[in-house]
Structure formats: C-alpha cells, structure tokens
Structure 1
Amino acid sequence: MSFQGYLKTIKTKTGKGPEDFRQLAREKGFTSEGVLKSEVKAGEITKWLAEDFSLGQGHAMAIYALLKGTKNENSD
C-alpha cells in the first residue's frame, strides 16, 4: 500500500487527517513545537493509536512517520 493509501484509509476509518493527528499528539505531549520529542518511541505512538483509534501496526506507523517528519501529506 502506498503512503497515500494509508492516509486515505486512516481518514476513512477515523475521520481524522494528518493535521488532526499532529494536534492530538501535541495534546498528548508527544511533540513539542511540531517535532516529535526524542524520548517518544514508535511503540508509544502505535499503542496510543491502537487503543484510541483501533489502528493496526502499519497504519499507526504511517502516523508515526508523519509525526517524526520522515513523511508528509505529499509523500508517495
């Protein structure tokens, strides 16, 4: 699945897009000034997304990549 495919499926399943998850991550204390805090690990993000949104590993890792800055809304 392409990165855009992951984002589309996440939006369909949760009703939330990348900016929504960035805001939620800020509220949870995972990010600071738009950057994922260095002490926040992928496992914390995937656990949060599984518990709160029932996202599987692949979809949660797509959100992690967004928060980490390795991918963005225009990535393939």
Structure 2
Amino acid sequence: MSFQAYLDNIQTKTGKAPEDFEALAAEKGFTQDGQIRQGVKATEITNWLKDEYKLGHGHAMAIYAYIKGKRE
C-alpha cells in the first residue's frame, strides 16, 4: 500500500485530512512551528491517534510521518 493510500484510507475512516491531524497535533502540544517538539516521542503521537481516532499502528505511523514532514 502506498503512503498516499494510507492517507486516503485514514481520511475515509476519520473524515480528517492529514493537514487536520497536523493542526490537531499542534493543539495537543506535540508540535511547535511545524516541527515535532523536542522530547516528544513517536509513541506519544501514535498512542493518541490510536486511542482517539481508532487508527491501527500502520495508519498512526503514516500520520506521524506526515506530521514529521513526509509528503510522498
């Protein structure tokens, strides 16, 4: 499955685009100025996505990668 397919599936499941998750991560304090804040671990973000949005591990990691800057 391509990275874009993961993002498309997440949007279908949650109704939220990757940009929405990026904004939500900033609201939660995981990011600052578009970067993951120092000391924030991937597990914190993926656990939030799994708990709040019921994403599986692979999909949560795709959103983490997007927040971290991956676009392709």
TM-score range, shorter chain: over 0.9
Q: Which residue of 2 aligns with 1:20?
A: 20
Structure 1 residues 1-76: aligned runs within 5 Å: 1-69=1-69, 71-72=70-71, 75=72
4+ runs deviating over 2 angstroms: none
Please, what is the CA RMSD of the aligned residues? 0.7
Counterparts of 1:40 and 1:68, CA distance in 2: 11
Q: Deviations over 1:51-70 (max 9, x none)?
A: 1000000000001101111x
Structure 1 gaps of 5+ residues are none
TM-score by length of structure 1 reads 0.91
Letter in 2 for 1:7: L
